[in-house]
């Protein structure tokens, strides 16, 4: 059928379209019925789907061949941003390309898993000894660069995407346990390296009431929004928390709070199911993939998507600290939609370019 | 895949399958965790949060501060705020909407568009909210509404302050304007300081002194019910108005300079040498900044952009011109100071100069030459050959190093954003761009042609430095900030921007006496403005070539299209004995500095020194001097 010929996966496509549709309703509501903002969001989504369709046409073999180059380009951009940041004497995450602004660390979310998968396929699996060392370097250098921008949220997500590749590639359990123990032991030391505002976010999570008008404000207001939504919700356009301007960032990072307030538990759980099904489909595509490169990449991209929505919803419902990670597809603004959709394009390409199609 | 043994392939697949399963289980657990959290918040804790949501009743509403005014040195208002009236209706307080609208329609003009937009809001917005029916009511309309207000329940007249520039285009190139805060602005400003404020300084002084003009936002803590209806004000923190900015500029002087330039494209910068205060800062043509405040329509903007006279360009700040013969006012000092050139020895001027071993002739503007000239005659008559020889002796680096302390080739540090640097070229500069420096470029450097570029502001600052015997000041357009309430003043003073060091201080007086002779002796190129001046002026004319004149060709003004005619320049200060004002004038494609630019400078100086403008009779014909 046509979708198959376009190398699109029906299941993923429909799920994403549902999310896109809901997101338009939600942006309209959370921006105080701004048609302009809704139109802008629709434009971004359209751009995202365009990129998805383009990426789906690329054969996985091509992508594999390009992996080191894309990785090199992403590294160069990350360095450029850092250099510009030094000149501009401040935090710098953007490269301005005329009308379009671009956040190079976003590209790394795709480039890093591709590079690691490419590396492992060439060096044989599972990763051992010096190869593991090289892989860790491939992983940590860009993460360090992004963390230095400083953009810890994105750095953590890129790190997680890379670690997923290592794990799926079959890194030995002994090393995994060793690293986990080392990480746990290092946590108290890491505390010293955090900025004050980062420590405060964590402390606030433990006890939001400690500073209700200051740092705890986001968390408290978003939990009130979610909780007051109840079972059936207050109905579309009726989020008092957002419309009466109690909830900050209600159309960007905290958009899920508005959704939960307006559509209640039923809506929230259904939305959660859609997100979970998308991840499940990603895992299924990874499972069916026919070579190591595509399955590692598909697995990593799916986990990365999962982490995005898990961290965001966790933050909105007050079980994770406030970090600036938007809810995929739903949150207004940002450039993340393009890399996100590109990732899904890659997943679809992997799925539809298989040589033997099962009955 | 082919080079990997089959056994490994199956093993890899198996390991991958296991690992994927582990990850999937982890994901499932975490998703379940989210689901449980949502169930907890939205069912078990629902009542608790519902209560909190109902209790969410006090919210801060920002009150924007009035922006500081901008006034000239005499208190003439250049930028002010005037209230714009907006008519708002609260539907739930109005019993008969149709009748109210009819009544209002009789009092003020309501278009179909106004009504249509209002009806749409009426359908979409909550009934307790104030909906806008019309904006920009005239004072008369506002008065009429205010009069009938007691009989109109639910009708409110809101006044918002809007920026207005009463002089229109006059002075726009120093004032700049405010405009709506854009998305790019949002990323660089402190959002909390701009709550409730819709405009931000975009250009000129409005942008440079944004922080001082803005003021501090105030708050009202408003108690609302659960539906957001306002019940009462609990607490009010008044906004702090932005500080008023008094300029050094004299708006009347500015108008005189603008009139003197008339329809011509050009710039005038006048500075008080001792203090660095900028008295006039003019670029023509001007444009009206008022349409920019609420967003200019694209057609008008396009017209401004496409205007061949380019009114949007700030010629005084960003216009880069070859200084032409005005550079001789500065290089004259080099002739006195230099070790490579004897400024006391006369030079023969046959009407041309050629480099050793070259047949290329660098012509003097005067056919047949000036004969034997000393430095005084060379400056007074603007002899080119003298300065060709001087430049050749100094070398391009020597010229560059001599001119740099005057402020050429770098920003003057004026209190306006986006200043241009001009250009002091050197062989090194050119080679860095992969080009070769030609000996001829050294020669024409001496008469301000070639690659060198200066802004009118730089020329005025340079002239002020001569008047100051070498002290260079950063020009200041703004003079002081005054707190609207406490009247506390903060002076804005000019900082020193270096000094031109000389071996012999007497050289300054020598140079200045020669520059005075330019204006006050019969042979002088600016005698036309000097013969009847009641005070003494030191100055230098200049004519900057736009079109290259080929070897053997001569320049015939009326035979050349206007846009290719020479730029006319004049730099000066006065009175010679105790300088009050330094002026730089440029008239684009104006022809000769003596006839086009100098009279403009004279009018500006008259106003400052005499307090009135003398009607200058037509200049007497002195020589056939084109400078």
pLDDT digits (tens, 9 = 90+) for B39-52: 999 999 988 888 88
Which CATH superfamily does the domain covering B61-247 fall into? Penicillin-binding protein 2a (Domain 2) (3.90.1310.10)
Pairwise CA distance, residues B400 & B403, whole Å: 5
pLDDT above 50 for B519: yes
pLDDT at B284 over 70: yes
User: Over the stretch B116-128, which tens digit does the pLDDT of each residue have?
Assistant: 888 887 876 666 6
A357 is a domain residue? no
Q: How confident is the model at residue B70 (pLDDT cuts 50, 70, 90)?
A: very high
- Say whether residue A211 is in contact with chain B using an 8 A CB cutoff: no
Q: Which range marks the domain in which residue A240 is found?
A: 2-352
The predicted pLDDT at position B86 comes to 83
Contact residues, chain B, for A354 at CB < 8 Å: none
- The whole-model pTM stands at 0.63
Is the separation of the CB atoms in B325 and B543 below 8 Å? Answer: yes
Exposed, middle or buried: residue B299 (CB in 10 Å: 0-12, 13-18, 19+)? Answer: exposed
% chain A with pLDDT above 70: 83
Interface test with A, best of B17, B42, B43, B221 (most A CBs within 10 A): B42
Nearest of B471, B470, B70, B476 to residue B271 by alpha carbon: B476
Residues 6+ apart with CB under 8 A from B367: B351
Taking CB atoms and an 8 Å limit, are A164 and B16 in contact across chains?
no
Chain A, 296 to 335: residues with Cβ < 8 Å from chain B are 296, 299, 303, 306, 310, 313-314, 317-319
CA nearest neighbour of B8 among A279, A120, A115: A120
- Average the pLDDT over B268-281 and give the result: 96
pLDDT of residue B620: 43
Bigger pLDDT: B61 vs B398: B398
Q: By CA distance, what is A265's nearest residue in B?
A: B42
Judge: A292–B34 Cβ closer than 8 Å, yes or no.
Answer: no
Chain A nearest-CA residue for B124: A33
Chain A residue whose CA is closest to B2:
A291
HSE, side-chain direction, 13 A CA sphere, residue B467:
31
Catalytic residues of B: 325
| Cβ–Cβ < 8 Å for B204, B177 | yes
Residue A42 belongs to a domain: yes
Weakest mean pLDDT among A118-127, B85-94, B192-201, B555-564: B555-564
Q: What confidence tens digit (pLDDT) does each residue in A136-156 have?
A: 889 889 988 888 776 777 888
For chain A, the helix, strand and coil percentages under 3-state DSSP, each to the nearest 5: 75, 0, 25
C-alpha pair distances (Å), A99 with each of A41, A83, A95, B275: 16, 21, 11, 44
**Residue B453: both structure tokens together:** 């570029």
Cα gap B382→B366, rounded to integer Å: 10
Residues 6+ apart with CB under 8 A from B497: B407, B412, B413, B472, B473, B474
Q: With cut-offs at 50, 70 and 90, classify the pLDDT of residue A78.
A: confident
Residues of chain B neighbouring A168 (CB-CB closer than 8 A): 16, 19-20, 23
With a CB-CB cutoff of 8 Å, which residues 497-536 of chain B face chain A?
none
**B38 closest CB neighbour out of A124, A126, A265:** A265
Question: What does the pLDDT look like over B327-342, one tens digit per residue?
Answer: 999 999 999 998 888 8
Least confident of A272-276, B269-273, B616-620: B616-620
Average the pLDDT over B550-574 and give the result.
74
Q: Across A206-215, B1-10, B105-114, which has the greatest mean pLDDT?
A: B105-114
Upper half-sphere CA count for residue B374 (Cβ side, 13 Å): 8
Give the Cα separation of B157 and B142 in Å (integer): 8
Task: Scan for tokens 């006065």, then name that residue.
Answer: B574
pLDDT of residue A64: 93
- Rounded Cα gap, residues B285 and B293, in angstroms: 20
Are the C-beta atoms of B295 and B200 separated by less than 8 Å? no
The predicted model gives B4-26 an average pLDDT of 81
First to last CA, chain A: 15
User: What is the chain B residue with the closest CA to A34?
Assistant: B124
According to the model, what pLDDT value does residue A207 have? Answer: 63
The tally of domains found in chain A comes to 1
pLDDT of residue A296: 93
B423-444 average pLDDT score: 91
From the list B206, B216, B215, B162, the residue with the least C-alpha distance to B185 is: B206
pLDDT greater than 60 at residue B148: yes
* A228–B226 CB contact, under 8 Å: no
Residue B275 has pLDDT above 90, yes or no: yes
- pLDDT band, very low/low/confident/very high, at A1 (cuts 50, 70, 90): low
- B77, pLDDT greater than 90: yes
Q: Which tokens belong to B562?
A: 């206007």
Question: What are the DSSP calls for B509-543, one per residue?
Answer: HHHHHHHHHHHHSTTSTTHHHHTT-SS--EEEEEE
Tokens 């009050």, located at residue: B580
DSSP class of residue B169 equals T
Residues of A in contact with B8 (CB under 8 A): 124-125
pLDDT for residue B184: 73
Interface check A224 vs B, CB under 8 A: yes
CATH 3.40.710.10 fits B317-469+505-610, yes or no: yes
- Does the pLDDT value for residue A259 go beyond 90? yes
Between A208-222, A312-326, B287-301, the lowest mean confidence (pLDDT) is in: A208-222
Radius of gyration of the CA atoms of chain B, in A: 34
DSSP code per residue over B256-311: HHHHHHTTS-EEEEEEETTTTEEEEEEEES---SHHHHT---HHHHHHHHH-TT-T
Of the candidates B254, B252, B313, B319, the one whose C-alpha atom is nearest the C-alpha of residue B281 is: B254
Choice among A228-237, A302-311, B384-393 with the minimum mean pLDDT: A228-237
B583 and B569 Cβ atoms separated by less than 8 Å: no
Res. B294: pLDDT tops 80: no
Q: pLDDT value at position B622?
A: 43
Give residue A60's pLDDT. Answer: 92
The whole-angstrom separation of Cα B343 and Cα B514 is 13
**Nearest alpha-carbon partner for B537 in B554, B547, B524:** B524
A102 lies within 8 A of chain B by CB: no
Model pLDDT for residues A21-71, shown as the tens digit of each residue: 999 999 888 887 778 788 888 998 999 999 999 999 999 999 999 999 999
Please state the rounded mean pLDDT for residues B298-327.
92
Cβ(B477)–Cβ(B205) below 8 Å: yes
| pLDDT per position as a tens digit, A91-140 | 445 555 443 456 778 888 999 999 999 998 887 766 667 788 888 889 88
CA distance from start to end of chain B: 84
Quickly state the pLDDT bin for B607 (edges 50, 70, 90): very high
Q: Would you say residue B187 has pLDDT above 80?
A: no
Token pair 């590692």 in the structure block, residue: A296
pLDDT above 80: residue B231: no
- Six-digit token string for B224: 């609302």
- Are the C-beta atoms of B329 and B541 separated by less than 8 Å? no
In the prediction, which pLDDT does A219 show?
A: 82
pLDDT tens, residue by residue, B570-586: 999 999 999 999 999 99
Which residue has tokens 């899920």?
Answer: A256
A228–B52 C-beta distance less than 8 A: yes
Question: Mean pLDDT for chain A?
Answer: 83
For chain B positions 349-388, those within 8 Å of chain A (CB to CB) are none
pLDDT beyond 80 at B188: no
Provide the CB-side half-sphere exposure for B126 (13 A, CA): 14
Label the pairing between strands B567-574 and B538-544: antiparallel
pLDDT for position A284: 95
CA torsion through residues B337, B343, B344, B345, sign: positive
Question: Which of A203-217, B218-232, B384-398, B481-495 has the highest average model confidence (pLDDT)?
Answer: B384-398
Look at the alpha carbons of B73, B79, B85, B86 in this order and tell me if their dihedral is positive or negative.
negative
pLDDT at B282: 96
Sign of torsion over alpha carbons A330, A335, A341, A343: negative
Whether A244 and chain B come into contact, CB under 8 Å, resolves to: yes
In 3D space, the residue among B237, B212, B233 whose CA is nearest the CA of residue B224 turns out to be B233
Q: Strand B77-89 and strand B131-137: pairing?
A: antiparallel
Q: Which residues contact B200 (CB under 8 A, 6 or more apart)?
A: B178, B179, B180, B181, B185, B189, B194, B210
Q: Which pLDDT score is estimated for A169?
A: 87
Whether B25 contacts chain A with CB within 8 A = no
Q: Where are the domains of chain B?
A: 1-38, 61-247, 317-469+505-610
Pick from B27, B43, B48: which is nearest to A279 by CB? B27
A358 found inside a domain? no
Element spanning A51, H or E:
helix A35-57
Task: Answer whether B45 touches A (CB < 8 Å).
Answer: yes
Contact list in B for residue A124 (CB cut-off 8 A) is 4, 8
Q: Identify whether A359 is part of a domain.
A: no
For testing the chain A interface, which of B36, B52, B53 should be mutated: the one with the most A CBs within 10 Å?
B53
Cβ–Cβ gap A231/B42 under 8 Å = yes
Q: What is the pLDDT of residues A195-246, one digit of tens each?
A: 666 677 667 666 655 544 445 677 888 888 899 888 998 888 887 777 666 6
Average pLDDT taken over every residue of chain B:
87
């Amino acid at each position: 059928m046509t979708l198959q010929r376009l190398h699109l996966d029906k299941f993923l496509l429909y799920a994403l379209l549902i999310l896109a549709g809901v997101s338009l309703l939600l942006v309209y509501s959370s921006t105080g019925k701004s048609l302009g903002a809704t139109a802008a969001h629709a434009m971004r989504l359209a751009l995202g789907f365009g990129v998805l369709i383009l990426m789906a046409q690329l054969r996985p073999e091509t992508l594999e061949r390009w992996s080191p180059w894309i990785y090199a380009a992403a590294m160069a951009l990350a360095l450029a941003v850092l250099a510009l940041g030094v000149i501009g004497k401040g935090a710098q995450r953007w490269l301005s390309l005329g009308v379009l602004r671009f956040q190079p660390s976003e590209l790394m979310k795709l480039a890093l898993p591709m590079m690691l998968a490419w590396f492992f396929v060439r060096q044989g699996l599972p990763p051992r000894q010096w190869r593991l060392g090289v892989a860790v370097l491939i992983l940590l250098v860009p993460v360090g660069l992004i963390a230095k921008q400083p953009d810890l949220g994105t750095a953590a997500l890129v790190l997680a995407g890379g670690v997923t590749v290592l794990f799926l590639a079959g890194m030995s359990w002994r090393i995994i346990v060793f690293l986990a123990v080392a990480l746990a032991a290092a946590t108290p030391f890491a505390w010293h390296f955090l900025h004050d505002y980062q420590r405060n976010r964590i402390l606030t999570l433990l006890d939001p009431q400690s500073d209700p008008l200051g740092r705890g404000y986001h968390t408290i207001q978003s939990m009130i929004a979610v909780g007051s939504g109840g079972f059936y919700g207050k109905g579309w356009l009726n989020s008092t928390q957002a419309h009466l301007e109690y909830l900050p960032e209600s159309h960007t990072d905290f958009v899920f709070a508005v959704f939960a307030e307006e559509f209640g538990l039923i809506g929230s759980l259904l939305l959660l199911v859609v997100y979970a099904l998308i991840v499940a489909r990603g895992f299924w595509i990874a499972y069916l993939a026919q070579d190591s490169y595509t399955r590692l990449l598909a697995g990593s991209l799916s986990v990365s998507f999962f982490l995005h929505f898990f961290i965001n919803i966790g933050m909105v419902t007050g079980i994770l600290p406030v970090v600036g990670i938007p809810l995929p597809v739903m949150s207004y603004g940002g450039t993340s939609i393009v890399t996100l959709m590109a990732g899904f394009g890659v997943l679809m390409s992997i799925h539809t370019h298989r040589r033997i199609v099962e009955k | 895949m082919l080079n990997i043994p089959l056994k490994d392939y199956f093993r890899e697949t198996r390991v991958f399958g296991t690992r994927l399963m582990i990850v999937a289980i982890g994901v499932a657990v975490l998703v379940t965790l989210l689901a449980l959290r949502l169930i907890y918040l939205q069912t078990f804790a629902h009542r608790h949060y519902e209560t909190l949501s109902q209790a969410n009743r006090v919210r801060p509403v920002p009150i924007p501060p009035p922006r500081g005014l901008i006034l000239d040195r005499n208190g003439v208002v250049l930028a002010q705020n005037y209230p714009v009236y907006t008519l708002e209706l609260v539907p739930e307080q109005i019993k008969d909407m149709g009748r109210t609208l009819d009544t209002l329609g009789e009092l003020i003009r309501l278009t179909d568009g106004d009504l249509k937009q209002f009806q749409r809001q009426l359908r979409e917005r909550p009934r307790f909210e104030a909906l806008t029916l019309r904006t920009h009511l005239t004072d008369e309309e506002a008065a009429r509404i205010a009069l009938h207000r007691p009989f109109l329940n639910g009708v409110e007249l809101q006044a918002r302050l809007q920026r207005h520039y009463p002089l229109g285009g006059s002075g726009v190139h120093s004032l700049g304007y405010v405009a709506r805060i854009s998305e790019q602005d949002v990323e660089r400003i402190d959002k909390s300081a701009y709550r409730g404020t819709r405009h931000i300084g975009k250009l000129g002084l409005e942008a440079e002194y944004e922080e001082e003009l803005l003021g501090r936002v105030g708050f009202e803590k408003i108690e609302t019910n659960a539906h957001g209806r306002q019940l009462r004000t609990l607490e009010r923190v008044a906004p702090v108005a932005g500080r008023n900015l008094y300029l050094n500029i004299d708006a009347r002087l500015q108008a005189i300079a603008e009139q003197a330039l008339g329809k011509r494209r050009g710039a005038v910068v006048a500075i008080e040498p001792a203090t660095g205060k900028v008295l006039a800062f003019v670029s023509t043509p001007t444009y009206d900044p008022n349409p920019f405040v609420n967003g200019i329509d694209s057609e008008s903007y396009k017209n401004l952009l496409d205007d061949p006279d380019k009114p949007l360009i700030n010629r005084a700040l960003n216009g880069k011109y070859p200084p032409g013969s005005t550079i001789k006012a500065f290089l004259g000092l080099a002739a006195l100071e230099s070790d490579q050139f004897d400024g006391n020895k006369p030079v023969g001027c046959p009407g041309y100069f050629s480099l050793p071993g070259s047949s290329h002739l660098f012509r003097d503007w005067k056919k047949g030459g000036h004969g034997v000239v000393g430095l005084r005659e060379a400056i007074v008559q603007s002899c080119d050959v003298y300065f060709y020889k001087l430049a050749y002796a100094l070398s391009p680096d020597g010229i560059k190093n001599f001119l740099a302390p005057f402020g050429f080739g770098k920003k003057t540090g004026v209190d306006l954003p986006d200043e241009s640097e001009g250009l002091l070229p050197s062989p090194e500069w050119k080679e860095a761009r992969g080009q070769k420096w030609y000996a001829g470029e050294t020669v024409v450097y001496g008469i301000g042609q070639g690659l060198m570029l200066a802004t009118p502001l730089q020329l005025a600052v340079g002239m002020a430095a001569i008047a100051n015997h070498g002290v260079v000041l950063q020009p200041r357009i703004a003079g002081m900030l005054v707190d609207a309430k406490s009247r506390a003043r903060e002076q804005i003073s000019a900082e020193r921007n270096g000094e031109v060091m000389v071996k012999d201080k007497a050289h300054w007086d020598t140079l200045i006496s020669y520059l005075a002779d330019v204006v006050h002796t019969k042979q002088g190129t600016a005698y036309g403005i000097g013969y009847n001046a009641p005070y003494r002026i030191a100055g230098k004319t200049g004519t900057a070539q736009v079109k290259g004149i080929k070897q053997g060709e001569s320049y015939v003004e009326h035979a050349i299209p206007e846009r290719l005619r020479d730029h006319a320049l004049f730099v000066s200060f006065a009175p010679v004995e105790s300088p009050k004002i330094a002026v730089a004038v440029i008239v684009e494609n104006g022809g000769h500095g003596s006839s086009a630019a100098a009279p403009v400078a004279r009018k500006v100086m008259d106003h400052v020194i005499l307090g009135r403008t003398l009607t200058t009779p037509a200049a007497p014909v002195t020589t056939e001097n084109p400078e």
